[in-house]
Structure 1
Amino acid sequence: MKHLLLILLLLVAYPGVVRAFGTGELGCSGDCTSCHKVTLKEAQDIIRKIDPSMGVEKITTSQVPGLYQVVLTKANTNGKGIAYLDFSKRYLIQGTVLDTGNKVDITGKSMRELLESQVIDVSRIKLNNALLLGNPKGTKHLYLFSDPDCPYCAKVHDELTKLVKKMPDLAVHILLYPLDMHPDAAWKTNAIVAASKKDMKRALAMLEASYDKKAVKKNSSASNYANELKKMGQDLGITSTPVLVYANGSIGLGAKTQDEIKAGILKNVKTAK
Protein backbone atom coordinates (compact mmCIF):
# COMPACT_ATOMS: atom_id res chain seq x y z
CA MET A 1 0.00 0.00 0.00
CA LYS A 2 2.88 2.38 0.85
CA HIS A 3 4.51 1.61 -2.53
CA LEU A 4 1.27 2.36 -4.38
CA LEU A 5 0.83 5.64 -2.50
CA LEU A 6 4.39 6.67 -3.36
CA ILE A 7 3.81 5.98 -7.06
CA LEU A 8 0.61 8.05 -7.05
CA LEU A 9 2.37 10.96 -5.34
CA LEU A 10 5.16 10.85 -7.93
CA LEU A 11 2.68 10.91 -10.80
CA VAL A 12 0.91 13.92 -9.32
CA ALA A 13 4.21 15.72 -8.66
CA TYR A 14 5.65 14.89 -12.09
CA PRO A 15 2.76 14.65 -14.61
CA GLY A 16 5.25 14.53 -17.48
CA VAL A 17 6.08 11.00 -16.42
CA VAL A 18 2.59 9.89 -17.49
CA ARG A 19 3.32 10.85 -21.09
CA ALA A 20 6.23 8.46 -21.14
CA PHE A 21 3.75 5.60 -21.08
CA GLY A 22 1.68 7.06 -23.93
CA THR A 23 2.40 8.01 -27.52
CA GLY A 24 2.64 11.76 -27.99
CA GLU A 25 0.48 14.33 -26.23
CA LEU A 26 -2.69 12.27 -26.61
CA GLY A 27 -1.13 8.90 -25.93
CA CYS A 28 -3.18 6.06 -27.38
CA SER A 29 -6.33 8.16 -27.42
CA GLY A 30 -4.99 9.88 -30.53
CA ASP A 31 -4.75 8.69 -34.14
CA CYS A 32 -2.95 5.33 -34.03
CA THR A 33 -1.86 5.63 -37.66
CA SER A 34 0.21 8.71 -36.83
CA CYS A 35 2.69 6.41 -35.06
CA HIS A 36 1.93 2.92 -36.33
CA LYS A 37 2.24 2.27 -40.04
CA VAL A 38 2.46 -0.79 -42.27
CA THR A 39 2.71 -1.02 -46.05
CA LEU A 40 0.92 -3.53 -48.25
CA LYS A 41 4.30 -5.01 -49.21
CA GLU A 42 5.28 -5.46 -45.55
CA ALA A 43 2.02 -7.27 -44.87
CA GLN A 44 2.46 -9.47 -47.96
CA ASP A 45 6.00 -10.42 -46.90
CA ILE A 46 4.77 -11.36 -43.42
CA ILE A 47 1.92 -13.50 -44.76
CA ARG A 48 4.01 -15.26 -47.42
CA LYS A 49 6.54 -16.36 -44.79
CA ILE A 50 3.68 -18.32 -43.24
CA ASP A 51 2.05 -19.51 -46.48
CA PRO A 52 3.55 -18.67 -49.91
CA SER A 53 0.19 -19.32 -51.60
CA MET A 54 -1.49 -16.53 -49.63
CA GLY A 55 -1.55 -12.89 -50.59
CA VAL A 56 -2.78 -9.62 -49.10
CA GLU A 57 -5.35 -7.57 -50.98
CA LYS A 58 -5.78 -4.84 -48.42
CA ILE A 59 -4.69 -3.86 -44.90
CA THR A 60 -6.48 -1.27 -42.77
CA THR A 61 -6.62 -0.22 -39.14
CA SER A 62 -9.10 -2.44 -37.31
CA GLN A 63 -11.89 -1.24 -35.04
CA VAL A 64 -9.93 -3.01 -32.31
CA PRO A 65 -7.13 -0.80 -30.94
CA GLY A 66 -3.68 -2.21 -31.67
CA LEU A 67 -4.72 -4.40 -34.60
CA TYR A 68 -4.70 -4.14 -38.38
CA GLN A 69 -7.39 -5.92 -40.38
CA VAL A 70 -5.90 -7.92 -43.25
CA VAL A 71 -7.84 -9.11 -46.30
CA LEU A 72 -6.22 -12.36 -47.41
CA THR A 73 -6.36 -13.97 -50.85
CA LYS A 74 -5.53 -17.49 -52.01
CA ALA A 75 -3.56 -18.21 -55.18
CA ASN A 76 -5.56 -19.54 -58.17
CA THR A 77 -8.92 -18.98 -56.45
CA ASN A 78 -11.36 -16.15 -55.75
CA GLY A 79 -11.30 -17.10 -52.08
CA LYS A 80 -10.82 -14.33 -49.54
CA GLY A 81 -10.57 -14.19 -45.78
CA ILE A 82 -9.90 -11.87 -42.87
CA ALA A 83 -7.13 -12.02 -40.29
CA TYR A 84 -5.59 -9.53 -37.86
CA LEU A 85 -2.01 -8.34 -37.47
CA ASP A 86 -0.90 -6.56 -34.31
CA PHE A 87 0.93 -3.23 -34.47
CA SER A 88 4.25 -4.91 -33.67
CA LYS A 89 3.80 -6.90 -36.93
CA ARG A 90 4.79 -10.04 -35.08
CA TYR A 91 1.48 -11.67 -34.22
CA LEU A 92 -1.07 -12.80 -36.81
CA ILE A 93 -4.49 -13.61 -35.39
CA GLN A 94 -7.18 -15.67 -37.08
CA GLY A 95 -10.66 -16.05 -35.67
CA THR A 96 -13.80 -14.09 -34.82
CA VAL A 97 -13.58 -10.74 -33.07
CA LEU A 98 -16.70 -9.84 -31.09
CA ASP A 99 -17.66 -6.42 -29.74
CA THR A 100 -19.14 -7.57 -26.43
CA GLY A 101 -20.42 -4.11 -25.55
CA ASN A 102 -22.49 -3.70 -28.71
CA LYS A 103 -22.94 -7.44 -29.30
CA VAL A 104 -21.57 -7.17 -32.83
CA ASP A 105 -19.54 -9.78 -34.72
CA ILE A 106 -16.89 -7.44 -36.14
CA THR A 107 -15.24 -10.12 -38.24
CA GLY A 108 -18.54 -11.46 -39.56
CA LYS A 109 -19.71 -7.97 -40.54
CA SER A 110 -16.43 -7.26 -42.34
CA MET A 111 -16.51 -10.64 -44.08
CA ARG A 112 -20.07 -10.11 -45.26
CA GLU A 113 -19.19 -6.68 -46.67
CA LEU A 114 -16.12 -8.17 -48.33
CA LEU A 115 -17.99 -11.04 -49.96
CA GLU A 116 -20.92 -8.91 -51.12
CA SER A 117 -18.48 -6.50 -52.77
CA GLN A 118 -17.13 -9.34 -54.92
CA VAL A 119 -18.25 -10.00 -58.47
CA ILE A 120 -18.19 -13.56 -59.80
CA ASP A 121 -17.59 -14.36 -63.45
CA VAL A 122 -20.77 -16.32 -64.14
CA SER A 123 -19.19 -17.88 -67.23
CA ARG A 124 -17.08 -19.93 -64.79
CA ILE A 125 -20.17 -21.46 -63.17
CA LYS A 126 -20.55 -24.93 -64.67
CA LEU A 127 -24.15 -26.06 -64.88
CA ASN A 128 -23.64 -29.72 -65.81
CA ASN A 129 -24.38 -30.80 -62.21
CA ALA A 130 -26.86 -28.06 -61.37
CA LEU A 131 -30.50 -28.54 -60.41
CA LEU A 132 -33.01 -26.34 -62.20
CA LEU A 133 -35.95 -24.62 -60.53
CA GLY A 134 -38.34 -22.61 -62.68
CA ASN A 135 -38.29 -22.15 -66.45
CA PRO A 136 -35.52 -24.09 -68.28
CA LYS A 137 -35.85 -21.59 -71.14
CA GLY A 138 -36.10 -18.54 -68.90
CA THR A 139 -34.45 -15.30 -69.92
CA LYS A 140 -33.60 -14.29 -66.36
CA HIS A 141 -30.94 -16.37 -64.60
CA LEU A 142 -30.10 -16.77 -60.95
CA TYR A 143 -27.46 -19.04 -59.40
CA LEU A 144 -27.81 -20.43 -55.89
CA PHE A 145 -25.10 -22.20 -53.90
CA SER A 146 -26.98 -24.26 -51.35
CA ASP A 147 -26.33 -27.00 -48.78
CA PRO A 148 -28.99 -29.73 -48.50
CA ASP A 149 -28.78 -29.62 -44.69
CA CYS A 150 -28.57 -25.83 -44.26
CA PRO A 151 -31.68 -24.35 -42.55
CA TYR A 152 -31.07 -20.92 -44.10
CA CYS A 153 -30.85 -22.55 -47.53
CA ALA A 154 -34.22 -24.17 -46.84
CA LYS A 155 -35.73 -20.72 -46.27
CA VAL A 156 -34.25 -19.34 -49.50
CA HIS A 157 -35.44 -22.41 -51.43
CA ASP A 158 -38.96 -21.91 -50.12
CA GLU A 159 -38.88 -18.24 -51.16
CA LEU A 160 -37.58 -19.14 -54.62
CA THR A 161 -40.29 -21.77 -55.08
CA LYS A 162 -42.84 -18.99 -54.61
CA LEU A 163 -40.90 -16.52 -56.74
CA VAL A 164 -40.62 -18.70 -59.87
CA LYS A 165 -44.43 -18.84 -59.93
CA LYS A 166 -44.54 -15.03 -60.03
CA MET A 167 -41.64 -14.73 -62.49
CA PRO A 168 -42.34 -17.30 -65.24
CA ASP A 169 -39.21 -16.28 -67.18
CA LEU A 170 -36.88 -17.05 -64.25
CA ALA A 171 -34.43 -19.96 -64.29
CA VAL A 172 -32.80 -20.75 -60.93
CA HIS A 173 -29.67 -22.88 -61.18
CA ILE A 174 -29.03 -24.65 -57.87
CA LEU A 175 -25.44 -25.66 -57.20
CA LEU A 176 -25.28 -27.93 -54.16
CA TYR A 177 -22.36 -26.99 -51.92
CA PRO A 178 -22.01 -29.40 -48.96
CA LEU A 179 -20.48 -27.76 -45.89
CA ASP A 180 -18.07 -29.72 -43.69
CA MET A 181 -20.22 -28.97 -40.63
CA HIS A 182 -23.00 -31.12 -42.11
CA PRO A 183 -21.70 -34.72 -42.25
CA ASP A 184 -24.62 -36.00 -44.38
CA ALA A 185 -24.57 -33.16 -46.90
CA ALA A 186 -21.99 -34.74 -49.24
CA TRP A 187 -23.75 -38.08 -49.77
CA LYS A 188 -27.10 -36.29 -50.08
CA THR A 189 -25.57 -34.06 -52.75
CA ASN A 190 -24.34 -37.13 -54.65
CA ALA A 191 -27.74 -38.83 -54.46
CA ILE A 192 -29.73 -35.73 -55.44
CA VAL A 193 -27.52 -34.77 -58.38
CA ALA A 194 -27.51 -38.38 -59.61
CA ALA A 195 -31.32 -38.36 -59.54
CA SER A 196 -31.40 -35.06 -61.49
CA LYS A 197 -29.68 -36.72 -64.45
CA LYS A 198 -32.84 -38.75 -65.05
CA ASP A 199 -35.64 -36.85 -63.33
CA MET A 200 -35.27 -33.19 -62.26
CA LYS A 201 -38.61 -33.13 -60.44
CA ARG A 202 -37.57 -36.11 -58.34
CA ALA A 203 -34.23 -34.48 -57.54
CA LEU A 204 -35.94 -31.28 -56.40
CA ALA A 205 -38.36 -33.35 -54.31
CA MET A 206 -35.38 -35.09 -52.64
CA LEU A 207 -33.77 -31.73 -51.87
CA GLU A 208 -37.01 -30.40 -50.40
CA ALA A 209 -37.38 -33.60 -48.34
CA SER A 210 -33.92 -32.95 -46.90
CA TYR A 211 -34.92 -29.39 -46.04
CA ASP A 212 -38.05 -30.74 -44.35
CA LYS A 213 -35.88 -33.14 -42.25
CA LYS A 214 -37.30 -36.15 -44.07
CA ALA A 215 -35.36 -39.21 -45.19
CA VAL A 216 -33.32 -39.06 -48.38
CA LYS A 217 -32.38 -42.36 -49.99
CA LYS A 218 -28.66 -42.98 -50.33
CA ASN A 219 -27.14 -43.85 -53.69
CA SER A 220 -23.85 -45.61 -53.04
CA SER A 221 -23.14 -45.93 -56.78
CA ALA A 222 -23.53 -42.21 -57.46
CA SER A 223 -20.52 -40.28 -58.74
CA ASN A 224 -18.74 -37.94 -56.36
CA TYR A 225 -20.59 -34.85 -57.51
CA ALA A 226 -20.09 -33.27 -54.08
CA ASN A 227 -16.34 -32.90 -54.55
CA GLU A 228 -16.73 -31.42 -58.04
CA LEU A 229 -19.33 -28.90 -56.93
CA LYS A 230 -17.43 -27.95 -53.81
CA LYS A 231 -14.19 -27.40 -55.71
CA MET A 232 -15.94 -25.18 -58.22
CA GLY A 233 -17.51 -23.17 -55.42
CA GLN A 234 -14.21 -22.75 -53.61
CA ASP A 235 -12.49 -21.66 -56.83
CA LEU A 236 -15.16 -18.98 -57.19
CA GLY A 237 -14.63 -17.83 -53.60
CA ILE A 238 -17.74 -19.43 -52.10
CA THR A 239 -17.19 -20.32 -48.44
CA SER A 240 -20.70 -20.46 -46.98
CA THR A 241 -24.34 -21.01 -47.88
CA PRO A 242 -26.75 -19.78 -49.05
CA VAL A 243 -25.09 -17.58 -51.67
CA LEU A 244 -27.07 -16.04 -54.51
CA VAL A 245 -25.20 -15.00 -57.65
CA TYR A 246 -27.10 -12.64 -59.92
CA ALA A 247 -26.75 -12.50 -63.71
CA ASN A 248 -24.07 -9.79 -63.60
CA GLY A 249 -22.03 -11.67 -60.99
CA SER A 250 -23.13 -9.64 -57.96
CA ILE A 251 -23.56 -11.62 -54.75
CA GLY A 252 -26.33 -11.86 -52.17
CA LEU A 253 -25.67 -13.63 -48.86
CA GLY A 254 -28.00 -15.19 -46.33
CA ALA A 255 -31.68 -15.99 -46.13
CA LYS A 256 -33.37 -13.34 -48.25
CA THR A 257 -37.09 -12.94 -48.89
CA GLN A 258 -38.61 -13.37 -52.34
CA ASP A 259 -39.07 -9.60 -52.60
CA GLU A 260 -35.40 -9.00 -51.79
CA ILE A 261 -34.35 -11.64 -54.32
CA LYS A 262 -36.62 -10.20 -57.01
CA ALA A 263 -35.21 -6.72 -56.38
CA GLY A 264 -31.70 -8.16 -56.74
CA ILE A 265 -32.59 -9.87 -60.01
CA LEU A 266 -34.08 -6.68 -61.49
CA LYS A 267 -31.22 -4.52 -60.23
CA ASN A 268 -28.41 -6.78 -61.43
CA VAL A 269 -29.64 -7.46 -64.95
CA LYS A 270 -27.22 -8.76 -67.53
CA THR A 271 -27.44 -11.39 -70.21
CA ALA A 272 -26.25 -14.63 -68.61
CA LYS A 273 -25.34 -17.90 -70.17
Structure 2
Amino acid sequence: MAKNLVLAAVLSAALSTFAWAEDQPAATAPAAAAPAATAEAAAPAAIPEKVEAVTTQAATIDPEVVKQITEKLKPLFGSAPDSIKASPVAGVYAVSFGMELLYSSPDGRYVFSGDLIDAQTRTNLSENARASGRKAVMDKADVTKTITYKAKGEEKYVMSVFTDVSCPYCVKLHQEVPKLNDMGVTVRYFAYPRAGVGSGPYKEMVNAWCSADPIKALNELKEGKTIETKECANPVADHYALGQKVGVTGTPAIVTQDGVMIAGFRPAQEMFEALEESKVAQ
Protein backbone atom coordinates (compact mmCIF):
# COMPACT_ATOMS: atom_id res chain seq x y z
CA MET A 1 0.00 0.00 0.00
CA ALA A 2 2.81 2.38 0.96
CA LYS A 3 4.61 1.62 -2.29
CA ASN A 4 1.48 2.42 -4.27
CA LEU A 5 1.05 5.74 -2.45
CA VAL A 6 4.67 6.60 -3.16
CA LEU A 7 4.17 5.73 -6.81
CA ALA A 8 1.09 7.94 -7.05
CA ALA A 9 2.83 10.83 -5.33
CA VAL A 10 5.89 10.56 -7.53
CA LEU A 11 3.91 10.48 -10.75
CA SER A 12 1.74 13.38 -9.60
CA ALA A 13 4.85 15.45 -8.91
CA ALA A 14 6.37 14.44 -12.22
CA LEU A 15 3.28 15.71 -14.04
CA SER A 16 4.17 19.31 -13.19
CA THR A 17 7.70 19.00 -14.48
CA PHE A 18 8.17 16.68 -17.41
CA ALA A 19 6.00 13.56 -17.20
CA TRP A 20 2.40 12.37 -16.99
CA ALA A 21 1.25 9.27 -15.45
CA GLU A 22 -1.13 6.07 -12.37
CA ASP A 23 -9.46 -5.69 3.55
CA GLN A 24 -11.08 -8.10 0.95
CA PRO A 25 -14.50 -9.13 -0.47
CA ALA A 26 -16.94 -10.61 1.99
CA ALA A 27 -18.00 -14.22 1.62
CA THR A 28 -19.30 -17.06 3.71
CA ALA A 29 -17.36 -20.10 4.80
CA PRO A 30 -17.97 -23.33 6.69
CA ALA A 31 -16.86 -23.94 10.28
CA ALA A 32 -13.19 -24.39 11.10
CA ALA A 33 -11.38 -27.69 11.10
CA ALA A 34 -7.74 -28.39 11.89
CA PRO A 35 -5.89 -29.47 8.72
CA ALA A 36 -3.72 -32.55 8.95
CA ALA A 37 -0.33 -31.73 7.53
CA THR A 38 3.25 -31.15 8.45
CA ALA A 39 4.81 -27.85 9.45
CA GLU A 40 8.15 -26.37 8.62
CA ALA A 41 9.32 -23.33 10.55
CA ALA A 42 12.39 -21.84 12.15
CA ALA A 43 15.13 -19.49 10.94
CA PRO A 44 14.64 -16.35 8.80
CA ALA A 45 13.54 -16.79 5.21
CA ALA A 46 15.92 -15.63 2.53
CA ILE A 47 14.74 -12.43 0.87
CA PRO A 48 16.22 -11.95 -2.60
CA GLU A 49 18.43 -8.91 -2.93
CA LYS A 50 17.42 -6.13 -5.35
CA VAL A 51 18.25 -7.22 -8.86
CA GLU A 52 20.14 -4.64 -10.88
CA ALA A 53 18.49 -5.75 -14.10
CA VAL A 54 19.12 -2.51 -15.95
CA THR A 55 22.64 -3.59 -16.85
CA THR A 56 21.47 -6.98 -18.14
CA GLN A 57 18.69 -5.40 -20.17
CA ALA A 58 20.99 -2.77 -21.63
CA ALA A 59 22.41 -5.35 -24.03
CA THR A 60 19.03 -5.83 -25.69
CA ILE A 61 18.17 -2.15 -26.25
CA ASP A 62 20.08 1.01 -27.10
CA PRO A 63 22.36 1.82 -24.14
CA GLU A 64 21.57 5.51 -24.62
CA VAL A 65 17.87 4.76 -24.05
CA VAL A 66 18.74 2.96 -20.81
CA LYS A 67 20.93 5.88 -19.75
CA GLN A 68 18.32 8.55 -20.44
CA ILE A 69 15.41 6.71 -18.82
CA THR A 70 17.51 5.90 -15.77
CA GLU A 71 18.75 9.49 -15.41
CA LYS A 72 15.22 10.88 -15.62
CA LEU A 73 13.49 8.40 -13.31
CA LYS A 74 16.15 7.68 -10.70
CA PRO A 75 15.74 11.10 -8.98
CA LEU A 76 11.98 10.56 -8.80
CA PHE A 77 12.06 7.07 -7.31
CA GLY A 78 15.30 7.26 -5.34
CA SER A 79 16.87 4.33 -7.13
CA ALA A 80 17.58 3.03 -10.62
CA PRO A 81 14.88 0.90 -12.29
CA ASP A 82 15.10 -2.84 -11.69
CA SER A 83 14.71 -3.38 -15.42
CA ILE A 84 14.14 -1.55 -18.68
CA LYS A 85 12.78 -3.55 -21.59
CA ALA A 86 11.40 -2.81 -25.02
CA SER A 87 7.61 -3.16 -25.07
CA PRO A 88 5.60 -4.48 -28.07
CA VAL A 89 4.76 -0.85 -28.87
CA ALA A 90 7.40 0.91 -30.98
CA GLY A 91 9.18 3.63 -29.03
CA VAL A 92 7.68 2.65 -25.67
CA TYR A 93 9.76 0.96 -22.97
CA ALA A 94 8.57 -1.05 -19.95
CA VAL A 95 10.30 0.15 -16.79
CA SER A 96 9.96 -1.77 -13.53
CA PHE A 97 10.57 -0.76 -9.94
CA GLY A 98 9.91 -3.95 -8.01
CA MET A 99 6.36 -5.00 -8.90
CA GLU A 100 5.48 -1.50 -10.14
CA LEU A 101 5.48 -1.26 -13.93
CA LEU A 102 5.64 2.00 -15.89
CA TYR A 103 5.98 2.83 -19.56
CA SER A 104 8.37 5.45 -20.84
CA SER A 105 9.38 7.30 -23.97
CA PRO A 106 12.97 6.62 -25.11
CA ASP A 107 14.25 9.80 -23.45
CA GLY A 108 12.38 9.25 -20.20
CA ARG A 109 10.46 12.51 -20.53
CA TYR A 110 7.00 11.00 -20.90
CA VAL A 111 5.92 8.33 -18.44
CA PHE A 112 2.59 6.65 -17.88
CA SER A 113 1.27 3.79 -15.77
CA GLY A 114 -1.50 1.32 -16.40
CA ASP A 115 -2.01 -2.02 -18.11
CA LEU A 116 -0.87 -2.68 -21.66
CA ILE A 117 -3.40 -4.95 -23.37
CA ASP A 118 -2.92 -6.94 -26.55
CA ALA A 119 -6.34 -6.36 -28.09
CA GLN A 120 -5.85 -9.15 -30.62
CA THR A 121 -5.18 -11.87 -28.06
CA ARG A 122 -6.92 -10.08 -25.18
CA THR A 123 -3.82 -10.62 -23.08
CA ASN A 124 -2.84 -8.31 -20.23
CA LEU A 125 0.85 -7.97 -21.03
CA SER A 126 1.50 -5.84 -17.96
CA GLU A 127 0.06 -8.40 -15.56
CA ASN A 128 2.04 -11.15 -17.29
CA ALA A 129 5.20 -9.12 -16.70
CA ARG A 130 4.30 -8.58 -13.04
CA ALA A 131 3.59 -12.29 -12.61
CA SER A 132 6.94 -13.16 -14.14
CA GLY A 133 8.75 -10.82 -11.76
CA ARG A 134 6.74 -12.06 -8.78
CA LYS A 135 7.54 -15.68 -9.66
CA ALA A 136 11.25 -14.91 -9.86
CA VAL A 137 11.14 -13.46 -6.34
CA MET A 138 8.98 -16.21 -4.85
CA ASP A 139 11.11 -18.95 -6.39
CA LYS A 140 14.03 -17.70 -4.26
CA ALA A 141 12.05 -17.66 -1.00
CA ASP A 142 12.97 -20.32 1.56
CA VAL A 143 9.81 -22.44 1.74
CA THR A 144 11.24 -24.50 4.61
CA LYS A 145 10.46 -21.48 6.79
CA THR A 146 6.74 -21.53 5.97
CA ILE A 147 3.97 -23.29 7.88
CA THR A 148 2.77 -25.78 5.31
CA TYR A 149 -0.47 -27.74 4.98
CA LYS A 150 0.28 -30.42 2.43
CA ALA A 151 -2.05 -31.74 -0.24
CA LYS A 152 -3.53 -35.17 0.28
CA GLY A 153 -2.70 -37.63 -2.47
CA GLU A 154 -1.44 -36.15 -5.73
CA GLU A 155 -0.28 -32.55 -5.40
CA LYS A 156 -1.87 -30.52 -8.18
CA TYR A 157 -1.11 -26.99 -7.05
CA VAL A 158 0.89 -25.13 -4.44
CA MET A 159 -0.36 -21.75 -3.30
CA SER A 160 1.62 -19.33 -1.17
CA VAL A 161 -0.63 -17.41 1.22
CA PHE A 162 0.41 -14.20 2.95
CA THR A 163 -1.68 -14.26 6.11
CA ASP A 164 -2.40 -12.16 9.19
CA VAL A 165 -3.92 -13.77 12.28
CA SER A 166 -5.93 -10.57 12.93
CA CYS A 167 -7.54 -10.70 9.46
CA PRO A 168 -11.14 -12.05 9.41
CA TYR A 169 -10.96 -13.17 5.79
CA CYS A 170 -7.69 -14.99 6.50
CA VAL A 171 -9.61 -16.95 9.12
CA LYS A 172 -12.31 -17.75 6.55
CA LEU A 173 -9.69 -18.93 4.08
CA HIS A 174 -8.02 -21.04 6.76
CA GLN A 175 -11.33 -22.82 7.29
CA GLU A 176 -11.19 -23.85 3.61
CA VAL A 177 -7.69 -25.36 3.87
CA PRO A 178 -8.85 -28.94 4.63
CA LYS A 179 -11.01 -28.88 1.48
CA LEU A 180 -8.14 -27.45 -0.55
CA ASN A 181 -5.83 -30.19 0.75
CA ASP A 182 -8.41 -32.80 -0.27
CA MET A 183 -8.45 -31.26 -3.78
CA GLY A 184 -4.68 -31.70 -4.09
CA VAL A 185 -3.65 -28.16 -3.13
CA THR A 186 -0.71 -27.54 -0.80
CA VAL A 187 -1.04 -24.33 1.21
CA ARG A 188 2.14 -22.55 2.31
CA TYR A 189 1.70 -19.77 4.83
CA PHE A 190 3.92 -16.71 4.88
CA ALA A 191 3.41 -14.33 7.80
CA TYR A 192 2.20 -10.86 6.86
CA PRO A 193 1.27 -8.78 9.93
CA ARG A 194 -0.50 -5.82 8.31
CA ALA A 195 0.22 -3.59 11.31
CA GLY A 196 3.93 -4.12 10.76
CA VAL A 197 6.92 -5.58 12.56
CA GLY A 198 6.60 -5.36 16.32
CA SER A 199 2.79 -5.16 16.31
CA GLY A 200 0.48 -7.44 18.29
CA PRO A 201 -0.29 -9.73 15.32
CA TYR A 202 3.44 -9.82 14.53
CA LYS A 203 4.21 -11.11 18.04
CA GLU A 204 1.40 -13.65 17.84
CA MET A 205 2.78 -15.03 14.59
CA VAL A 206 6.26 -15.17 16.07
CA ASN A 207 4.74 -17.32 18.84
CA ALA A 208 3.27 -19.66 16.22
CA TRP A 209 6.41 -19.93 14.11
CA CYS A 210 8.50 -20.57 17.23
CA SER A 211 6.11 -23.17 18.62
CA ALA A 212 7.15 -26.80 18.89
CA ASP A 213 4.02 -27.54 16.82
CA PRO A 214 3.55 -24.57 14.44
CA ILE A 215 0.47 -26.02 12.73
CA LYS A 216 -1.34 -26.56 16.03
CA ALA A 217 -0.32 -23.09 17.19
CA LEU A 218 -1.48 -21.42 13.98
CA ASN A 219 -4.77 -23.31 14.05
CA GLU A 220 -5.39 -22.06 17.58
CA LEU A 221 -4.61 -18.47 16.62
CA LYS A 222 -7.02 -18.73 13.69
CA GLU A 223 -9.64 -19.95 16.17
CA GLY A 224 -9.14 -16.85 18.30
CA LYS A 225 -7.24 -18.63 21.06
CA THR A 226 -4.20 -17.32 22.92
CA ILE A 227 -1.04 -19.37 22.58
CA GLU A 228 2.12 -19.57 24.64
CA THR A 229 4.67 -16.79 24.17
CA LYS A 230 7.78 -18.04 22.41
CA GLU A 231 11.05 -16.52 21.22
CA CYS A 232 13.35 -17.89 18.56
CA ALA A 233 15.12 -17.03 15.33
CA ASN A 234 12.06 -16.67 13.13
CA PRO A 235 11.14 -15.59 9.57
CA VAL A 236 8.15 -13.34 10.35
CA ALA A 237 9.89 -10.01 9.62
CA ASP A 238 11.45 -11.47 6.48
CA HIS A 239 8.08 -12.78 5.31
CA TYR A 240 6.62 -9.31 5.80
CA ALA A 241 9.41 -7.80 3.70
CA LEU A 242 8.90 -10.48 1.05
CA GLY A 243 5.20 -9.68 0.88
CA GLN A 244 5.93 -6.01 0.33
CA LYS A 245 8.43 -6.91 -2.36
CA VAL A 246 5.90 -8.94 -4.36
CA GLY A 247 3.18 -6.32 -4.03
CA VAL A 248 0.99 -7.54 -1.15
CA THR A 249 -1.32 -4.71 -0.04
CA GLY A 250 -3.87 -6.69 1.98
CA THR A 251 -4.56 -10.15 3.29
CA PRO A 252 -5.14 -12.86 2.45
CA ALA A 253 -2.94 -12.56 -0.63
CA ILE A 254 -2.31 -15.70 -2.64
CA VAL A 255 0.57 -16.15 -5.06
CA THR A 256 0.38 -19.07 -7.47
CA GLN A 257 3.33 -21.11 -8.69
CA ASP A 258 3.27 -18.99 -11.86
CA GLY A 259 3.50 -15.73 -9.90
CA VAL A 260 -0.14 -14.71 -10.39
CA MET A 261 -1.59 -12.75 -7.45
CA ILE A 262 -5.07 -13.73 -6.24
CA ALA A 263 -6.34 -11.19 -3.74
CA GLY A 264 -8.86 -11.93 -1.03
CA PHE A 265 -10.94 -14.81 0.25
CA ARG A 266 -12.61 -17.37 -2.00
CA PRO A 267 -14.27 -20.65 -1.02
CA ALA A 268 -12.23 -23.76 -1.75
CA GLN A 269 -13.93 -24.64 -5.05
CA GLU A 270 -13.63 -21.09 -6.38
CA MET A 271 -10.01 -20.91 -5.27
CA PHE A 272 -9.23 -24.19 -7.04
CA GLU A 273 -10.85 -22.86 -10.22
CA ALA A 274 -8.83 -19.63 -9.90
CA LEU A 275 -5.64 -21.69 -9.64
CA GLU A 276 -6.59 -23.58 -12.79
CA GLU A 277 -7.48 -20.39 -14.65
CA SER A 278 -4.23 -18.67 -13.67
CA LYS A 279 -2.23 -21.61 -15.02
CA VAL A 280 -4.11 -21.56 -18.33
CA ALA A 281 -3.64 -17.77 -18.60
CA GLN A 282 0.10 -18.19 -18.29
**Secondary structure at the counterpart of residue 228 of structure 1:** helix
Aligned residue type for 2:252: P
- Please report how far the alpha carbon of residue 72 of structure 1 lies from its aligned counterpart in structure 2 after TM superposition: 5.2
What secondary structure, in the 3-state scheme, does the structure 1 residue paired with 2:144 have?
coil
Selected match of 1:163 from 163, 180, 185: 180
- TM-score (structure 2 length as normaliser): 0.52
SS at match of 1:128: helix
Once the two structures are superposed, the pairs formed by residues 52-201 of structure 1 within 5 Å of their partners are 52-54=79-81, 73=97, 79-81=98-100, 119-121=134-136, 122-135=138-151, 138-140=154-156, 141-165=158-182, 167=183, 169-180=184-195, 183-195=199-211, 198-201=212-215
Q: Which of the residues 179, 197, 207 maps onto 2:221? A: 207
Partner Cα distance (2:194, 2:235) in 1: 14
- Separation (CA, whole Å) in 2 of partners of 1:172 and 1:262: 12
Name segments (4+ residues, structure 1) moved above 6 Å: 111-114
Give the secondary-structure state (helix, strand or coil) at the position aligned to 2:217.
helix
In 1, distance between residues paired with 2:150 and 2:82? Answer: 40
Q: Contact between 2:151 and 2:185, CA under 8 Å: does it hold in 1?
A: yes
Between the aligned residues of both structures, percent identity stands at 19
- What CA distance in whole angstroms lies between the structure 1 residues aligned with 2:238 and 2:82? 25
Given that residues 81 and 95 in structure 2 are in contact (C-alpha distance below 8 angstroms), is that contact kept between their aligned partners in structure 1? Answer: no
In 2 relative to 1, CA 220–250 (structure 1 residues): closer, same or farther, beyond 3 Å? same
**Structure 1 alignment gaps of length 5 or more:** 1-31, 33-38, 59-69, 74-78, 93-110
Give the Å deviation of 1:114.
8.2
Range with bigger deviation, 175-184 or 123-132: 175-184
- Alpha-carbon separation, structure 1, partners of 2:227 and 2:241: 24
Secondary structure at 1:192 match in 2: helix
- Contact between 1:48 and 1:54, CA under 8 Å: does it hold in 2? yes
Does structure 1 conserve the Cα–Cα contact (< 8 Å) formed by 2:252 and 2:265? Answer: yes
**Which residue number corresponds to residue 247 of structure 1?**
257
TM-score if structure 1 supplies the norm length?
0.54
Contact 1:246/1:264, CA 8 A, preserved across alignment? no
Structure 1 residues 54 and 160: alpha-carbon distance in aligned structure 2, compared to 1, 3 A threshold? same
Whichever of the two has the greater Rg, that structure is: 1
Partner SS, residue 135 of structure 2: coil
Paired amino acid for 1:144: V
User: 2:254 is paired with a residue of what secondary structure?
Assistant: strand
Tell me if the contact between 1:190 and 1:224 (Cα under 8 Å) persists in the aligned partners.
yes
Q: CA RMSD in A?
A: 4.5
CA displacement 1:148-173 (0-9 Å, x = unmatched): 222332232233343324x1x32211
CA apart distance, 1:244: 1.3
Q: Which has the higher contact order (CA 8 A, sep 6+)?
A: 2
Which residue identity does 2:219 align to in structure 1? A
Specify the code of the residue in structure 2 equivalent to 1:260.
Answer: E
Secondary structure of the residue aligned to 1:135 is: coil
Contact 1:47 1:56 in 2 (8 A): no
Structure 2, unmatched stretches of 5+, are: 1-19, 21-64, 86-93, 112-125
Report SS of the residue matched to 1:221: coil
CA apart distance, 1:233: 3.3
1-side partners of 2:216 and 2:259: how far apart? 29
The Cα of 1:142 is off from its aligned counterpart by 1.8
Q: Give distance in 2, aligned partners of 1:82 and 1:268.
A: 20
Structure 1 Cα separation of the partners of residues 84 and 196 of structure 2: 28
